[in-house]
Structures are given as structure tokens and as C-alpha cells.
Amino acid sequence: DVKVTQSSRYLVKRTGEKVFLECVQDMDHENMFWYRQDPGLGLRLIYFSYDVKMKEKGDIPEGYSVSREKKERFSLILESASTNQTSMYLCASSYRVLGANVLTFGAGSRLTVL
Amino acid sequence: DAKTTQPNSMESNEEEPVHLPCNHSTISGTDYIHWYRQLPSQGPEYVIHGLTSNVNNRMASLAIAEDRKSSTLILHRATLRDAAVYYCILRDALLSYNTDKLIFGTGTRLQVFP
């Protein structure tokens, strides 16, 4: 089975801190994604990457950046955390099945910014 | 991406079949219909996807209307472990091979009673 591992399940940070969320996948997938999930808003795409050192903005990239130096690792960076970035963050990678890309998600990282 | 409409919540008893509906009246000819589900405290997981024909796998069946304006995810015998939020998503397979952005709505919360 494909595994997507997020380094931290729970984090508590202070406003203004720099935050790194790490994600690793073990199946050599090219595409990786970062979503955030908030009650009533569903999952919203922050950034995605379709190759090493390549990145594309999703629907809500403001306040975030990403890094993909190796194929298996995709990091989400909050340069200066704010309280409105308190959320569940979900990483995913995708693979091709029967003509369509299928996502495999990690368990999520719940970030609280005080 | 075309929009989908799902009921906010549904209920079922254990070991009964469950039919989860999804309306997508603006679906295009190249849109795949994807279903994901999210168990409590976990990231979403892939369930099934299809284009025109009905599809079966070990988790569920997907019944697609002849005009493709609606579809139904069928769980043949609900278990307590099937209690989750189920998301119906459309994705244009031709739009972008690599940069696949699945847009999640708020889904249907399925409750399963013993």
C-alpha cells in the first residue's frame, strides 16, 4: 500500500513563528499536494507539485510556501504563522488508475496557532 | 470543474445497503466521477471512480445514470466502520494530466447504527 506520512499529528505554535510541515510518500509518485480542511469549508488546495523543484499555486496559497527538493518529500512552510492558519493540514500524493489520478492522503497535521 | 450536490447527511443500519446520491447536472463528457470518504480523525481515502459504465471494487459500487447527470455510491452491507463523510467529486481527465486538482465539497455525513 502507498504510504503518505506527515511528520506531526499535532502542533501548537505562536503567532509569528515559522512553521514547517513535512510530508513523505514512499511510492515514487510525481504529484504531491497540500490541502487545509476547516469545518464547513471542506478541503481547499494550497499548493501542489508535479515534479522535483516544481510547484503550482492552488486556490489559497497566500501565507504559505512549499519546497520539493526530493521526489518523496513535500514541505509546507508558514513563514509567519497567524491565528487564521489554525487548521487541519492534509498532504497527498497521486497515481494513475484507469485513466484518472487517484489521491492518497496522509493522516493530517492539526496546527493550532496561539 | 463542474459542481456536485450531495445531501448533508444520511443514516443507515448496520448490514443494510446504503445508496449515497450525487447530482452533477453540468458534467462534461470527459469528467470522471470520483468518490472519497473520510473517517473520523483521518485523511480522506479513495473509494472508487468511473466515467460512463458502472464500476465495482472491493469497497463499493458506483452506479452512473445513463445521462451522467447523477451517480450513486452503493455500500452493499454497511458496517460501523463505514461511518464517514463521503465526497463526490468531478475531475476532467483531459484538463491536466499532471496537475490534477481534486476540488472537495462538504460531502455527505453517513451515520451507521448497530
Quick one: three-class SS letters along chain A? CCCEEECCCEEEECCCCCEEECEEECCCCCEEEEEEEECCCEEEEEEEECCCCCCEECCCCCCCEEEEEECCEEEEEECCCCHHHCEEEEEEEEEEECCEEEEEECCCEEEEEC
The Cα A79–Cα B13 span in angstroms is 47
Give the distance from CA B8 to its chain's centroid. 13
Cβ–Cβ below 8 Å for B100 and A94: yes
Does B62 have pLDDT greater than 80? Answer: yes
d(Cα B21, Cα B6) in Å, to the nearest integer? 6
* CA B107, A11, A22, A16 torsion-angle sign: positive
CB-CB: which of B32, B49, B106 is closest to A40? B106
The mean per-residue pLDDT over the stretch B84-104 comes to: 73
Give residue A60's pLDDT: 93
d(C-alpha A104, C-alpha B4), whole Å: 21
Chosen for mutation from A59, A102, A109, A110 (greatest number of chain B CBs closer than 10 Å) is: A102
Closest CA to A67 of A59, A79, A80: A79
* Contact at CB, B32 and A99, closer than 8 angstroms: yes
Task: For cell 447530482, name the residue.
Answer: B23
CB contact under 8 A, A100 and B36: no
- Cβ atoms of A18 and A3 within 8 Å: the answer is no
A31: chain B residues, CB-CB within 8 Å: 98-100
pLDDT in tens, A64-93: 999 999 999 999 999 999 999 999 999 999
Please name the residues in contact with B113: beta carbons below 8 A apart, sequence gap of 6 or more: B11, B12, B13, B14
Which of B86, B90, B87 lies closest to B26 in space, CA to CA? Answer: B90
- Give the number of other CB atoms < 10 A from CB of residue B88: 26
Cβ–Cβ below 8 Å for B43 and A105: yes
Check whether B1 has a pLDDT greater than 90: no
Per-residue pLDDT of chain A (114 residues; tens, 9 = 90+): 669 999 889 999 999 999 999 999 998 888 899 999 998 888 888 999 988 988 989 889 999 999 999 999 999 999 999 999 999 999 999 888 777 788 899 999 999 999
- The pLDDT of residue B95 is 54
- Cell of residue A101, nine digits: 489520478
Q: Do A99 and B42 touch (CB under 8 A)?
A: no
